[in-house]
A and B are shown apart, each in its own frame.
Chain A
Amino acid sequence: MTKAPSVSTTRKIKVDALSRVEGEGALDLHIQNGVIKDLKFRIFEPPRFFEALLRGRDHSEAPDITSRICGICPIAYQLGASQAMEDALGISVTGPLRDLRRLIYCGEWIESHVLHAAMLHAPDFLGLDDALQIAKVNPELVKTALRLKKLGNDILDVVGGRAVHPVNLKVGGFYKVPTKARVRELIEPLKWAIDASRGVTLAFGGFDFPDFDYDYTCVSLRHADEYAIHEGRIVSNRGLDIAVKEFPDHFLEEHVAHSNALHGMLREGEAAYLTGPIARYNNNYDQLSQLAKSTAKEAGLGRVVTNPFKSIVVRMVETVYALEESLRIASAYEEPDGSCVTVAPHAGTGHGCTEAPRGICYHRYQLDDAGLILRATIVPPTAQNQKQIEADLRGVVERNLKLDDEKLKWRCEQTIRNYDPCISCATHFLKLSVKRD
């Protein structure tokens, strides 16, 4: 057993490789006389220079190239890029093609949320090392989670032609629309999944959540008619309400020495902000379905969530909602006449933004007369959340200084996992070190 430290010492805690996150990152924590001297959430996943390699490529190539940024949330990149191109070229995708886009995005939320909540984050609350331990203690929960995740991937397969890195999405719509029969095959599994995901949500609602609250600036999309997933204006709980193209006017990215991912912040006051499930839930709660709202209430969530550890429950509430939406769209699906809107290339600049499972993902492209990409900018959610992750960590460490190094380390990792950080996306993985002198 590690001895609890006395307050008048210096402690250095290092987590050299954070587990159960996507990519490579670390945390260095230096505590002196009970005060945090230094705290750095470092991302050392090598940068991949996607924005540079897009230059000179045709606008039609951007969805498939950018989807390779992430194997968990490829739709966020494919759709963000497609919408930015459509914005630059003056077309819009509506009707059944828009419904299919929402359906495949629901699939991505389901597979990503269930993987993180049940397999990667739940072990933190159960005092277990990993999902394997959960499988030994509660195999039925793991079987249910795996089946739910697979259903999310099945939606990607039916609409996108492949369960990972779908190949069927393009600027203007799809290469080929799925047959009615294939989409309708999703209906029975979706009915099972809505009940099953409610059960998982209520089970997770009974976890013991660490005591920590934060008055977040919540930034998300908001759409007039629906819980925003793949379209909307960018809003915050502090009154921000802007079109997607105004994103660069209100947000900036800063390079900090300890991270290969840019730190996102609000231009105003250079402040941290939160994007992702809790931000969406807080901003758009009124647009959730009745079932999602009642499930949230039964699972112990209020109208507004300020405890980041409850993000695991919010993810599952969003999963219930995404399953309901999938069922609604699949049940009403009729094969459209055309698979896409025709695009004629010309010069222009376009912006796109969607709600990736981890938060808003912004794209901007400038095209030349032939539709070739002159400049590309992609701002993924984990880059935007980095500054807020550090702020949360400071708060959590301050409240838990009495914990011994091992327990403090665990709590810090759990805090980072609240964000389901996709470090591969943000660099365009995690090591933790705590130092106490």
Chain B
Amino acid sequence: MIDRIPWIIGVGNPMRGDDGAASAVVDYLLAQDIPAYAFDGDGAELMEMWLGQSRVIVIDAAVSGAEVGTVHRFDAHLAELPRNFFRHSTHQFGVAEAVEMARALGRLPAEMIVYGIEGENFTLGGPLSPQVEQAVYQAAERIKADIGGPY
């Protein structure tokens, strides 16, 4: 059964307000016994994390100008990911760069879905915005639909 479950990685820093949206999704999934991993390192490491996996779902906070709490969903095989869209970046090498680098190196997993949760408040020590809390629930439910339950 476990083979059917994609490698789910939530990216961001839970200590920086809405940047913690993805790790909140991970917590929600873990509470339902769905394996998922929270990650707060650089893009190169992110690529290592999914190396050898055929199905991968990555979640990150987004700052695209859309309404706060919007849940964006991208199939990486359908189009390039937009740059300057996702929140998490160490040395300007974040989720979009990791996905595009993997594509350039021929290392993109066979299935690669990326979720972005639109945030607004990224202050140190801040809580999730109420709209983002709602979005966390929505994103987690959509991921469950992607996986194809039952859970």
Q: Secondary structure at chain A's binding surface: helix, strand, loop or mixed?
A: helix
| Contact status of A149 and B104, CB under 8 A, knowing A21-B91, A22-B90 | no
Residue B42 lies at the interface, judged by CB distance under 8 Å to chain A: yes
Residue on B with the closest CB to A163?
B45
Q: Is there contact, CB below 8 Å, between A146 and B44? A: yes
Stretch binding the partner chain, chosen from A31-39, A90-98, A130-138: A130-138
Chosen A-B contacts, 27 in total, with CB atoms closer than 8 Å, are A20-B91, A20-B92, A22-B90, A46-B124, A71-B41, A115-B44, A119-B91, A120-B91, A130-B92, A130-B97, A131-B101, A132-B97, A135-B101, A135-B104, A135-B105, A136-B104, A139-B105, A139-B106, A142-B101, A142-B104, A142-B105, A146-B44, A146-B48, A149-B44, A150-B48, A153-B45, A163-B45
B41 interface neighbour in A139, A143, A164, Cβ under 8 Å: A164
Q: Is there contact, CB below 8 Å, between A132 and B100? A: yes
Q: Is there contact, CB below 8 Å, between A164 and B91? A: no
Residue on B with the closest CB to A120?
B91
Q: How far is the CB of A124 from chain B (nearest CB, A)?
A: 13
B19-54 residues at the A interface, CB under 8 angstroms: 41-42, 44-45, 47-48
Q: Is there contact, CB below 8 Å, between B104 and A115? A: no
Interface string of A178-215 (1 = CB under 8 A from B): 00000000000000000000000000000000000000
Residue on B with the closest CB to A46?
B124
Q: Is there contact, CB below 8 Å, between B45 and A119? A: no
Residue A282 lies at the interface, judged by CB distance under 8 Å to chain B: no
Q: Is there contact, CB below 8 Å, between A143 and B93? A: no
Q: Is there contact, CB below 8 Å, between B97 and A115? A: no
Interface string of B68-111 (1 = CB under 8 A from A): 00000000000000000000001111000100110011100000
Cα distance A164–B40 in the bound complex, in angstroms: 10
Cα distance A120–B93 in the bound complex, in angstroms: 9
The total of chain B residues at the interface (CB under 8 A) is 17
Q: How far is the CB of A430 from chain B (nearest CB, A)?
A: 11
Q: Which 10 A-B pairs have CB atoms at the shortest separation, nearest pair first?
A: A135-B104, A19-B92, A136-B104, A139-B105, A135-B101, A132-B100, A164-B41, A20-B92, A132-B101, A22-B91
Cα distance A119–B47 in the bound complex, in angstroms: 14
Taking CB atoms, residues of chain A closer than 8 Å to B90 are 22, 71
Cα distance A194–B104 in the bound complex, in angstroms: 26
B104 interface neighbour in A120, A139, A163, A164, Cβ under 8 Å: A139
Interface string of A129-161 (1 = CB under 8 A from B): 011100110010011001001100100000000
Q: Is there contact, CB below 8 Å, between A119 and B93? A: yes
Q: Which residues of B contact A (CB under 8 A)?
A: 41-42, 44-45, 47-48, 90-93, 97, 100-101, 104-106, 124
Residue on B with the closest CB to A140?
B105
Cα distance A118–B101 in the bound complex, in angstroms: 14
A249-285 residues at the B interface, CB under 8 angstroms: none
Q: How far is the CB of B75 from chain A (nearest CB, A)?
A: 19
| Contact status of A146 and B47, CB under 8 A, knowing A71-B41, A119-B93, A120-B91 | yes
Cα distance A131–B96 in the bound complex, in angstroms: 12
Taking CB atoms, residues of chain B closer than 8 Å to A20 are 91-92
Taking CB atoms, residues of chain B closer than 8 Å to A130 are 92-93, 97
Taking CB atoms, residues of chain B closer than 8 Å to A131 are 93, 97, 101
Interface string of A11-40 (1 = CB under 8 A from B): 000000001111000000000000000000
Taking CB atoms, residues of chain A closer than 8 Å to B104 are 132, 135-136, 139, 142
Q: How far is the CB of B78 from chain A (nearest CB, A)?
A: 19
Taking CB atoms, residues of chain B closer than 8 Å to A135 are 101, 104-105
Cα distance A153–B47 in the bound complex, in angstroms: 14
Residue on B with the closest CB to A134?
B104
Q: How far is the CB of B43 from chain A (nearest CB, A)?
A: 9
Taking CB atoms, residues of chain A closer than 8 Å to B92 are 19-20, 130
Q: Is there contact, CB below 8 Å, between B45 and A164? A: yes
Q: How far is the CB of B96 from chain A (nearest CB, A)?
A: 9
Residue on B with the closest CB to A150?
B48
Cα distance A131–B97 in the bound complex, in angstroms: 9
Most chain A CB atoms below 10 A, which of B48, B90, B97, B104:
B104
Q: How far is the CB of B103 from chain A (nearest CB, A)?
A: 9
Cα distance A150–B42 in the bound complex, in angstroms: 12
Cα distance A123–B92 in the bound complex, in angstroms: 13
Most chain B CB atoms below 10 A, which of A22, A119, A142:
A119
Cα distance A227–B45 in the bound complex, in angstroms: 29
Most chain B CB atoms below 10 A, which of A119, A132, A150, A153:
A132
Q: Other CB < 8 Å A-B pairs besides A132-B101, A139-B105, 15 of them?
A: A19-B92, A22-B90, A71-B42, A131-B97, A131-B101, A132-B104, A135-B101, A135-B104, A135-B105, A139-B104, A142-B101, A146-B47, A149-B44, A150-B44, A163-B45
